[in-house]
Structures are given as structure tokens and as C-alpha cells.
Chains A and B, each alone.
Chain A
Amino acid sequence: MGSHIVKSFCLGLSLAASLAVAPGAVAKDWKTVVIGMEGAYEPWNLTDSSGKIVGFEVDLANDLCKRAGLECKIIAQDWDGMIPGLKAGKFDVIMDGMSITDERKKEIDFSKPYAASPGSFLAPKGSPLAKTTGAGTLINLDKDPAAGQAAIKSVQAALKGKTLGVQVSTTHANFASQYLKDIATVKEYKTTDDRDLDLKSGRLDAVLEDLPTNMATASKPDASELAVVGPKLIGGVFGVGEGMGIRKSDADLTAKFNKALAAAIADGSVKKYSEQWFKIDLTPR
């Protein structure tokens, strides 16, 4: 009698399991693609007052999917569950301003970059960061190591004994732990909203974040005392640009999106979306 019970239990479990399958996750013949974003990372993606996710990446995703002949479905996912969620199959693509880094490439694949956004500092207008070497200029840590080192040294001096805020598991957090570990107090936040609240209240002396995100924050009416200051850094620990995160086993999907992306860059669509949402053109060269 026992084995009957075990058999029917297992049958029931697998039945229940198969009923819960996420659509499109099984087919290698791609028709629908589920894309994961935070919906809380303005201006890359944000949730508007009606609950819909909009933003640069939403427009770009819809564009690329149309070119690739796929149907896109966008779902919200917290940042710290992005890569585990992708690997578990909760969604098929990550589009959340995720920088392409060697560390991440060990776990997942990336499409070619669709944006090249430097890291930048957001701080009160009178911050010492405003007077650092290379303030306001774009410095590529890979292509111009000397200028990069000079800028980093200057930033270290400006932030000595101060408090810097970053989001967990980002290239900005990595930069902070690599270069500012014993120099400044680094606080990590699960969401950018929480971190920005602390910046506004004065708990943080500065925030390190993607340039378009900082620009969007600084443009809000209640951020009149904040400004983007200091150098803009790309390359090195910041990665070479933002791309779509895709599972290593889905190389065919990566190829599809790369093809669509190349076309979108070539005909200026990416530039259009970038200028619309970022106010500047961040198309990778």
C-alpha cells in the first residue's frame, strides 16, 4: 500500500510542477522572450503611476524584439535576484543597466553593449568632489590608465573620512570596495530609492551611480542642492558598457539579439532612445 501512496504522490507533484511552467521557457524555438528589469532604475526602466514599466530599456527591448521577430514580455525583479533569477529560468534576458564585466561573464553571457554609460558621482553642490582632477570629463580606465589613476587618487582624497552610498552587487559597489575600502565609509543599499533617501537626508556625502541615473535624480524638483560632480569613469572595474544578460546555454538567443542590436545602432534607433531618456547619446562606439 505504501508504494501506491508514494507513486500517486509523485504523480501529483509532477503534475503540479508541470502546470506551473513559465511560458516559453522550454522552447528552443524562440517565440516569446521574458525580460527581467527592476522597474525602479530610472531612466533605464521605471514604473509609472499606472503600474506599467517604461523607460529606455523598455523602448529598446520592444524595438529589438520586433526586429528579431519575437514577442517580449517584461517582468519586474529585484536587483539582487537578477542573475540567480536568470539562471533559474525565471526570465530569459536581463535588461537592467547591467554592465558587462569579466566577473559576470563567468556566470552568464552578454549581448553586445547597447549603451556605454560611465559611473559618476552625485553629491551636494559644494562637495569636494567637484574640484577633483578630471572633474566633469570622461575618463576610460582601460584606454587612459594614467588619467584614470590621477582621477581615482583625487577622488580618494576628496572622500577621505566621508560616507559613500552604492547599490549592492554593482560595478559601483566593486569600485568602492576596491579603491575606497579603508578611506571612506561605504554603505550598500538594496534599492537606489533607499540610497537616494539617505543622500537627501545628509547621511551620505555622495553616491556613485550610472551617469544617466544620477542626471535623472538631479533633475527632480526636490534635488535642487544635488549635482553630478567629479570625474565620469568607464572601463576597468566599471565594465565596457551595458548589455543584455542571457544564459550561456542560449547562444542562439544572444545571436538573434546581437543581429537586431547591430541594425538598431546602425539606423540610429538606439541614439534616438538614448537621447529621449538619457538626454545624451550613450550609444557605444
Chain B
Amino acid sequence: MDLDFITKTFVRLLGALPLTLSVWFLSVVLGALVAAGVTWMRVSGVKPFELFARAYVTVFRGTPLLIQLFVVYYGLASLPAVRTSLFWLFLREAFNCAVLSLALCTAGYQAEIFRGALLAVPDAQVEAARACGMSGLLMFRRIVFPIALRHALPAYSTEMISMVKATALVSLVTLWDVMSVALKVRNDTLVTYLPLILAGAIYFVVNYALGVAFLALERRLSSHLKPRPS
């Protein structure tokens, strides 16, 4: 196996990286929106909302992403009710199904992260904000959110990295991401390990970069906690 083959395979894999990253980005953003909604329901104080939110988290954290993905991609497509509705325009595309499924799954995890972060905001601060006469929205924007964000960052970083790894599953629903290109090269050339090793290297670098970026963000946001210069 020569350098030429290694380079060619690596370039082919890199060509699939944009798809991987776009699935990741879109599902993370969509997931955050859904998670925000679920968290709001959870802390709303309205019993049915709370129950729904708890059920949502239990279901999406208690079942494998792979089966969720197949329910959305194969399962929904087999229902005549879905195929004759407007949803079909969206669900017909494998990319959309993948993003939707990944988003719903990460929303379950993100909702728990948000909830934990909200709980970590000291009651004293909330009381003080109320005493100052802050409205709910102002309090959220100026007090709760910044504190919660700092608490959420470490767990959020882990979840972001988990999502990058989760995108590898879209190779099982006909999308040409890095994982499926690596497997295709393996199937066509019968070179077993090299494509997988190269793909692994790409995923590793992406995850490493993400970890570093989040660490830098954490440091920036916690600059007030750094020791004073002597």
C-alpha cells in the first residue's frame, strides 16, 4: 500500500467532512431549541408540561440513537399517513431525517444539562434580582443565563463531542459521511484498516479541536474566578 493510495483515500474522506459537520451543526442547533422548550416545560410548574418533559427526557435518553434514527427514517416513511402529508416533503430526504433524529436525541441530553445548570444558580441571586424589581425576562437575561451558562459548559462540551461521534450513525441511513466513505473504500479495495484509521484520525482531530475551543470558552467566561495577579 503506497503513499498515493493513502493520500487519495484521505482526500476522499475529507470530501465527506462537510456533510458530517453540517449534520452535526444543524442537529445541535435544532436540538438546543427543542431542549430549551423542554426545559421551559420542566420548570414551568404546570403539571402536564412537567410530566411531558420528564417523559421526553426518559425516552430519548433511554433508547439507543440508532433505533430512533431508524424509526424516523424507515419507520415514518412506511406509514401511508406520513407519506400523504406535508411532512413527506421534509422526511423524504435522508439528510433531513438524520438531522431531525439526531436533534431530538441530543435535545433529551441538552435538556438535562440545562436543567442542572438552572438548578445551580444560587437562590440568593434570584431573590436579590426580584428584590431589585427585575422582571422575569430581565432576570433571566442578566442573572440566570450567564451563571447557568458557565455551569453548563463542561457538560455541554462533552455533549457536543458526543454528537460528532453520533453523526457516524448516519452512514447507516444512506448518507455519504466520513464513516460511509471509509467503509466504501474498504469494500471496494478490500484494504481493511487504513480507511478506518484515516477516518478515525479525522474524527479525533475534530473532537480535539472542539474540546480545546470549549476549554478556551470556559476560561474566558470564568476570568473573574482567576487568581488575582500578585
Contacts and interface: CB of A to CB of B under 8 A. Distances in A.
Given A188-B174, A190-B172, A197 B77 contact: yes
Contact of B83 (A107, A169, A202): A202
A37 B174 CA distance: 23
A83 B83 CA distance: 38
A200 interface: yes
A189 interface: yes
A84 B187 CA distance: 9
B92 interface: yes
Contact of A197 (B74, B172, B183, B188): B74
B153 to A, nearest CB: 38
Interface in B166-184: 172, 174, 183-184
A202 B84 CA distance: 11
B86 interface: no
A83 B190 CA distance: 8
A174 to B, nearest CB: 9
Contacts of B172: 190
B181 to A, nearest CB: 11
A203 interface: yes
Contacts of B74: 194, 197-198
A250 B204 CA distance: 42
A80 B188 CA distance: 10
Chain B residues touching A, range: 10 to 19
Nearest to A187: B174
Contacts of A76: none
B77 A84 contact: no
A169 B77 CA distance: 25
Interface string A166-186: 001100000000000000000
B44 interface: no
A189 B83 contact: no
Contacts of B174: 187-189, 198
Interface string B109-148: 0000000000000000000000000000000000000000
Interface in B182-197: 183-184, 187-188, 190, 192
B22 interface: no
Given A187-B174, A189-B174, A203-B94, A168 B77 contact: no
A107 B190 contact: yes
A237 to B, nearest CB: 14
A200 B187 contact: no
Pairs A-B, 9 closest by C-beta atoms: A201-B77, A187-B174, A169-B187, A197-B74, A80-B187, A168-B187, A203-B92, A201-B78, A107-B190
Given A168-B184, A202-B83, 12 more contacts: A80-B183, A84-B192, A107-B190, A168-B187, A169-B188, A189-B174, A190-B172, A197-B78, A198-B77, A200-B78, A202-B77, A203-B77
